[in-house]
């Protein structure tokens, strides 16, 4: 189960935080690290020093250019956020995330990605809107932002608690869903197709977006569609596009 949880760091600027993250992960039995467009050299003396023997995690990390590449195969994407944003999104506590993990990872195909933001500016709204849910570590509201590696530590600990709980009982808490869930990549293709179609039929004007796509994203992500269901929706979009072309 722990092998199918990925820690994703976006735009990290301090190598020490990458080392600290590796240590936190290895302490808790996680090993899958992805670095999205790091703003520093990931492997420096600082990294090795803060990793305290877990630098193999950094050696094995995938460095990619976009969030898309880091979480494309994930069936649940959770963004860690120190503060709330303009359009409220489903929020979960670290403990609730822990409780959900065994069922989320019951199927072999399932992958969970936990996404962390930049030291100075966190995650952008666009990045947060690509997540199924946001997790906030409850902190002093007057001083809510944890050090990046410390935030990873808290969530990695919750992942381990979920795994230990599962070891104690014999199997996953719930039966896996009968159909595989859509992956992040499949969802993003659907959103792109949806936006194209809404523009083509004159329902959506990208010049005055009124948060339309963000609201549709939130609605769709909340439903956790299966791959098959998403294929039906894409079929409807294709038929709609064809009808629109006919009329022109
Ligand atoms: N100054 C930034 C915070 C950056 S801290 C801001 O205002 O958004 C770096 C990252 O650590 C954050 O992007 C987030 O992923 C994680 N983090 C820090 N504190 C957190 C908290 N209380 N809950 C959840 N994630 C947190």
pLDDT digits (tens, 9 = 90+) for 126-166: 999 999 999 999 999 999 999 999 999 999 999 999 999 98
Kindly report, residue by residue over 68-101, the tens digit of the pLDDT: 999 999 999 999 999 777 788 999 999 999 999 9
Percent of the chain whose pLDDT exceeds 90:
87
CA 143 to centroid of ligand 1, rounded, Å: 11
Q: Are 25 and 2 in contact (CB under 8 A)?
A: no
User: How high is the pLDDT of residue 115?
Assistant: 98
Torsion-angle region of 133 (φ positive above 0: left; ψ -120 to 50: alpha; else: beta): beta
The atom of ligand 1 lying closest to the CA of 148 is: 11
Q: Where are the domains of the chain?
A: 2-167, 184-247
Verify whether ligand 1 is closer than 6 Å to residue 81 (CB atom).
yes
Residue of 133, 9, 151, 135 whose CA lies nearest to 70: 9
Q: Which fold has domain 2-167?
A: Alpha/beta knot (3.40.1280)
Class of domain 184-247: mainly alpha
**What does pLDDT average to over the chain?**
94
Mutate to test the pocket of ligand 1, among 79, 96, 97, 151 (most ligand atoms within 8 A of CB): 151
Cβ neighbourhood burial of 161 (10 Å; 0-12, 13-18, 19+): middle
Verify whether ligand 1 is closer than 6 Å to residue 123 (CB atom).
yes
* pTM of structure: 0.90
Verify whether ligand 1 is closer than 6 Å to residue 148 (CB atom).
yes
Say whether 7 sits in a helix, a strand or coil: strand
Distance CA 231, CA 183 (A): 12
Verify whether ligand 1 is closer than 6 Å to residue 94 (CB atom).
no
Kindly report, residue by residue over 51-68, the tens digit of the pLDDT: 999 999 999 999 999 999
Verify whether ligand 1 is closer than 6 Å to residue 144 (CB atom).
yes
| Residue with CA at minimum distance from ligand 1 atom 15 | 116
């Amino acid at each position: 189960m722990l092998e199918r949880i990925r820690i994703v760091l976006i735009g990290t600027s301090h190598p020490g935080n990458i080392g600290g993250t590796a240590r936190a992960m290895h302490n808790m039995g996680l090993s899958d690290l992805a670095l999205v467009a790091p703003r520093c050299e990931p492997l420096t003396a600082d990294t090795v020093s803060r990793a305290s023997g877990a630098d193999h995690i950094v050696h094995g990390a995938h460095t990619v250019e976009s969030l898309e590449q880091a979480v494309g195969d994930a069936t649940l994407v959770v963004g860690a956020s120190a503060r709330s944003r303009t359009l409220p999104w489903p929020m979960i506590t670290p403990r609730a995330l822990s409780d959900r993990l065994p069922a989320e990872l019951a199927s072999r195909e399932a992958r969970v990605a936990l996404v962390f933001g930049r030291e100075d500016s966190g995650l952008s709204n666009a990045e947060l809107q690509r997540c199924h849910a946001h997790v906030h570590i409850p902190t002093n509201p007057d001083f809510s932002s944890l050090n990046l590696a410390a935030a990873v530590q808290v969530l990695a600990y919750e992942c381990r608690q979920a795994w230990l709980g599962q070891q104690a009982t014999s199997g996953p808490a719930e039966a896996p869903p009968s159909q595989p869930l859509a992956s992040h990549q499949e969802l993003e293709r659907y959103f792109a197709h949806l936006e194209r179609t809404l523009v083509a039929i004159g329902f959506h004007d990208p010049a005055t977006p009124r948060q339309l796509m963000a609201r549709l994203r939130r609605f769709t992500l909340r439903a956790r569609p299966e791959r098959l269901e998403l294929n039906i929706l894409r079929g409807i979009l294709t038929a709609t596009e064809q009808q629109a072309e006919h009329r022109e």
